[in-house]
Amino acid sequence: MSRKIRRALVSVSDKTDIEKIGAVLAKHGVEILSTGGTAKKLQEVGISVTEVSKFTGFPEMMGGRVKTLHPKIHGGLLFVRGDETHETEAEQNGILPIDMVICNLYPFQQTVAKEGCTLADAIENIDIGGPSMTRSAAKNNKFVTILTNPADYQRVIDEMDRTGGAVSEETNFDLAVKAFGMTAAYDCAIWEYLAGKKDQLVKSILLGPAVGLAYAESRDRNPAHFLPNLIGPEDSLAFSRFETISGSPAYITVADHDTILNILCALAETFRRWQGNVPYIAICGKHGSPCGLAIDWKNPMTAIEKAIWGDPRAVMGGEFICNFPITDKLGQRLFAPNKQKNFGRDKVGLDLICVPGISDSALELLGKREKRKVMTNVALSDPQLPPEEWTLRAIRGGYLEQRAACFLLTPDNILKWAGKPLTKTGFETLLVAWVACWRTVSNTTALAKNRQLIGLVGGQQDRVQCTRFCFDRAVQSGHDTTESIFATDGFIPYPNSEAPIDIKNIIPDLQSLLDQTKKSNDPHEQLRLLDRLRALALSKDNRESSELMRDGGCIGGIVPYDGQNKDQTVRFFKDAGMRVAFVAPEHRGFYGH
């Protein structure tokens, strides 16, 4: 059911488009009540208004603190139309119905964010009348329209023009829900600020409305949702700002998307601060970690190919993100690998593609498979760090809070070098390894070569095994680790092992296993013997991670300068002829706990 708007109260701090909706109200014969600056703004463009003080018969007082707090205002908003008792009491008290409120509040959040804001300034910007009118109108939404955001004006304008000046109960209910969310966020901001003045740290989390996701991490955990943050700064790269143009994202998709998005933004900002511009960046991710990452200054195709070939096995079913639009030719490469190399299958098989834009033919090609998700956001062309200063992690009974990761590696914040500094190209490769290592998960080792990530293993309890696994991953993906560059987010406590490996003592056992392998005609037995050879060699290999990096062919890397043996670690890398950057211990990675 729709109800015609006959009387509206307009009182706003944010006067965006107020003349536009005011003109529509006037066109439909609506009596407009208003206050102060809003009334003046409407009158300046020729829209007739009635001052609230004239309507109530009561003057505005106490420096504007009391304007709309009057029974003729709140009675006009709250009385139930058609209720005999309400109608009688309204008539007896000269209360006229008010059918619409257009209101937004004093800019409290903006005021307290200003440098030099005093407690008195903040107090004066706590709106009382605005939230009171908003809540009255929202409570009686069956009969009253409440508009708190200029973004909703057009919906109401279109509806009034279509119905001859009426607004539906459905629209009123939708707007009431938004209004209560707005007043809740406003009160939370006031609470946080005033508690802070008593040295109490309080945080408000206000989320919604929920957006349904395709499914949860596992189907027995359905349903899954994305809940946008209603409190906090604007973020052009928030998930809600992406347009899904193919498929339906699931919980894992969104979580992994966020990881590689943060890596993309950190790397872009690092280059922006160091060199003043940003290269083409392409990242492939899988299960919360990058499995491919590459940069190129000239050709986005090179960045794509290197990202896909970082780990061609892992990329299947993974996610892709970049900072450049996907043309027909680039889309073909995302769909199928370069035939000049052995990829092991006909198609790349990506599950999610996040790009600034995509051509129609590339979308048709990449979106053919029903489950493939394609999302676009033009802000990816110029990726920026998230605006939040703090991060939260849910734990049982509450949340953990810490400052958001802020360390960005540039030549200026290298504490010291073992050996000579890397060349410009070498440092660019170092950044590829660094950002993948520092922004993935704690206790990670990464390898990069020629501006391409070639290996990454994270989340291991053992720093040595983490390094060993990383080299294994790189080799199994077809990379030569010679002249690669490493990154490790934790310090190296022991640069040298006392007895790296006693080759002579295990040669007889190795030879015996080799002889058995040669004699066997059973392929499965040969593989089992090969596993035993590998296990025997590993069981006797006591090398530390720094020795594995040296012996794996690394020419440089990055590590925190920490631990009792930090100077010995510097000396080890220098003696090995490596160029290793050391950063201050407070900048260790230890990300993602």
What residues pair up with 100 in beta bridges, in sequence order? Answer: 8, 145
Q: Residue type at 332?
A: Q
b/e string for 63-76 if b means 16 or more Cβ within 10 A? Answer: eeeebbebebbbbb
Q: Which residue from 480, 488, 438, 455 is spatially nearest to 291, judged by alpha carbons?
A: 455
On whether the pTM is more than 0.75, the answer is yes
pLDDT of residue 138: 94
- Between 495 and 433, the higher pLDDT residue: 433
Indicate the burial class of 44 (C-beta count within 10 angstroms; 0-12, 13-18, 19 or more). Answer: exposed
Domain spanning 237-381, CATH architecture: 3-Layer(aba) Sandwich (3.40)
Q: Is the pLDDT of residue 534 over 70?
A: yes
Q: Is it true that 237-381 and 411-499+542-587 share their CATH fold?
A: yes
The stretch 116-121 carries a mean pLDDT of: 86
Q: Is the pLDDT of residue 520 over 80?
A: no
Query: Which two structure tokens, joined as six digits, stand for 8?
Result: 């509206």
Tell me which residue has tokens 């499995």. Answer: 291
- Between 509 and 18, the higher pLDDT residue: 18
Percent of the chain with pLDDT strictly greater than 90: 47
Comparing 261-265, 516-520, 543-547, 558-562, the range with the smallest average pLDDT is: 516-520
The dihedral sign for the CA sequence 10, 13, 18, 19 = positive
**How far apart are the C-alpha atoms of 578 and 53, rounded to whole Å?**
79
Query: Which two structure tokens, joined as six digits, stand for 212?
Result: 């349904």
The DSSP symbol for 269 reads H
CB 129 within 8 A of CB 69: yes
How confident is residue 193, by pLDDT bands cut at 50, 70 and 90? confident
Q: Is the pLDDT of residue 25 over 80?
A: yes
CB 133 within 8 A of CB 73: yes
pLDDT of residue 513: 67
Indicate the burial class of 48 (C-beta count within 10 angstroms; 0-12, 13-18, 19 or more). Answer: exposed
CB 327 within 8 A of CB 299: no
CB 399 within 8 A of CB 388: no
CB 442 within 8 A of CB 591: yes
Q: Residue type at 81?
A: R
How confident is residue 419, by pLDDT bands cut at 50, 70 and 90? very high
Could you give the residue ranges of the DSSP H alpha helices within 279-419? 300-308, 328-335, 360-366
Query: Which two structure tokens, joined as six digits, stand for 546?
Result: 């720094």
**How far apart are the C-alpha atoms of 357 and 381, rounded to whole Å?**
9
pLDDT of residue 126: 85
Q: Is the pLDDT of residue 424 over 60?
A: yes
Q: Is the pLDDT of residue 328 over 70?
A: yes
**How far apart are the C-alpha atoms of 437 and 364, rounded to whole Å?**
35
The dihedral sign for the CA sequence 393, 440, 424, 550 = positive
Contacts of 44 by beta carbon, 8 Å cutoff, 6+ apart:
none
DSSP output for 439-483: TT-SS-EEEEETTEEEEEE---S-HHHHHHHHHHHHHHTT---TT
pLDDT digits (tens, 9 = 90+) for 32-79: 888 878 888 888 888 888 887 777 777 776 766 777 778 888 888 988
pLDDT of residue 110: 83
Contacts of 220 by beta carbon, 8 Å cutoff, 6+ apart:
none
pLDDT of residue 406: 87
Element (H, E) at 418: strand 416-418
Tell me which residue has tokens 């900072």. Answer: 323
The stretch 478-497 carries a mean pLDDT of: 91
Q: Residue type at 105?
A: L
**356 CA to centre of own chain:** 15
Q: Residue type at 206?
A: L
Query: Which two structure tokens, joined as six digits, stand for 520?
Result: 């066997």
**256 CA to centre of own chain:** 10
Q: Which residue from 281, 246, 243 is spatially nearest to 261, judged by alpha carbons?
A: 281
Q: Would you kindly state where each structural domain of the chain is located, as residue ranges?
A: 7-197, 237-381, 411-499+542-587
Structural class in CATH, domain 7-197: alpha beta
pLDDT of residue 358: 95
The DSSP symbol for 326 reads B
Query: Which two structure tokens, joined as six digits, stand for 500?
Result: 């790296």
Helix (H, G, I), strand (E, B) or coil at 236: coil
pLDDT of residue 275: 95
Percent of the chain with pLDDT strictly greater than 70: 95
CATH superfamily of 411-499+542-587: AICAR transformylase, duplication domain (3.40.140.20)
Contacts of 555 by beta carbon, 8 Å cutoff, 6+ apart:
426, 483, 484, 485, 578, 579
Query: Which two structure tokens, joined as six digits, stand for 316?
Result: 């299947």
Indicate the burial class of 581 (C-beta count within 10 angstroms; 0-12, 13-18, 19 or more). Answer: buried
CB 265 within 8 A of CB 384: yes
Q: Is the pLDDT of residue 370 over 60?
A: no
pLDDT of residue 343: 63
Helix (H, G, I), strand (E, B) or coil at 62: helix
Peptide bond into 387 cis (omega under 30): no
The DSSP symbol for 324 reads S
Helix (H, G, I), strand (E, B) or coil at 424: helix
Tell me which residue has tokens 């000046």. Answer: 165
pLDDT digits (tens, 9 = 90+) for 125-167: 888 888 898 999 999 999 999 999 999 999 999 999 999 989 9
Contacts of 546 by beta carbon, 8 Å cutoff, 6+ apart:
492, 495, 496, 569, 572, 573
Q: Is the pLDDT of residue 428 over 90?
A: yes
Q: Residue type at 469?
A: F
**361 CA to centre of own chain:** 29
pLDDT of residue 239: 93
Indicate the burial class of 62 (C-beta count within 10 angstroms; 0-12, 13-18, 19 or more). Answer: exposed
**How far apart are the C-alpha atoms of 273 and 9, rounded to whole Å?**
50
Query: Which two structure tokens, joined as six digits, stand for 123?
Result: 């107090």
**How far apart are the C-alpha atoms of 147 and 145, rounded to whole Å?**
7
- Report the mean per-residue pLDDT for the chain: 88
